Amino acid sequence: MGQPTIVDSHCHLDFPDFDAERPEVIQRALDAGVERMVTICTRLRNEPAVRAIAEAHAPVFYAAGTHPMSAADEPLATFDELVAMSAHPKFVGIGESGLDYFYTAESAEIQKQSLRIHIAAARETKLPLIIHARSADDDMAQILTEEYASGAYTCVMHCFSSSPELGRAALDLGFYLSMSGIATFPKSQEVRDIFAAAPVDRILVETDSPYLAPKPFRGKRNEPAYSTHTAAVGAELFNMDYADFAAQTTENFDRLFWKAKS
């Protein structure tokens, strides 16, 4: 038996933080047991560059959407545009989209419009929707639930650090919660409690690198290899051996991100 393998379900390998050593960063992830990575495009005009990274590296898959914090600055994504992109064999998810009222509350209406377009594309393509939610719990729960009533779709709450209520609303819809480095921070007990109360077959692991490096790298640039530290905390929360938690979260990833299944 080799080392247990996991998946970094959400990173940003196209960001300039990685320009000087992208192949090395991917290799370090593989060496650490991170067998696959999903790199996320946050502005659709960058999609060709993100796609090129996925095409150049076998372990890398990608998703694309308009991040809610850029929704007011970018052309509104169209349903047809997102569906057309999804034809690429390594395009595995829609987003990240969502609502961010912490930084960009003034663009709430355009964020909601953008979110509903991304949901429609996820429903049409059967690919998972990747959600960013910050300081918008009530609107987020309402839109996700309303839209689900209009037609089922799958979804992951990326980098989940919202309220227990939003966590429950997402789980009730059959969605997944993704654990980032935040879950390793000493002051994140409420977040750990939400994960510990969730079904273990709905948990994913991610870095959101270059952001949110877990302990012991907090404050430094994050990279996909470090998702193993978050997974170690997840294993503790569920009272599981690391290998079992790694296998479970990988199975969860394959179920949700079916196009990236190994």
Q: 36-65: per-residue pLDDT in tens?
A: 999 999 999 999 999 999 999 999 999 999
- Tell me the torsion sign for CA atoms 13, 14, 19, 23: positive
Question: What are the domain boundaries of the chain?
Answer: 6-260
CA distance 224 to 77: 28
Please provide the CATH number assigned to the domain covering 6-260: 3.20.20.140
pLDDT at 225: 98
Do 206 and 159 meet the contact criterion of CB atoms below 8 Å apart? yes
Quick one: 173 exposed, middle or buried, by C-beta within 10 A (0-12, 13-18, 19+)?
middle
Q: 121-169: per-residue pLDDT in tens?
A: 999 999 999 999 999 999 999 999 999 999 999 999 999 999 999 999 9
- 140: closest CA among 177, 194, 99? 99
> Which residues in 90-105 are b (16+ Cβ under 10 Å) and which e?
bbbbbbbbbbbbeebe
Quick one: 88 exposed, middle or buried, by C-beta within 10 A (0-12, 13-18, 19+)?
middle
Residue 152 has what DSSP assignment?
-
pTM equals 0.98
pLDDT at 1: 63
Q: 185-234: per-residue pLDDT in tens?
A: 999 999 999 999 999 999 999 999 999 999 999 999 999 999 999 999 99
**Mean pLDDT over residues 15-39, rounded?**
98
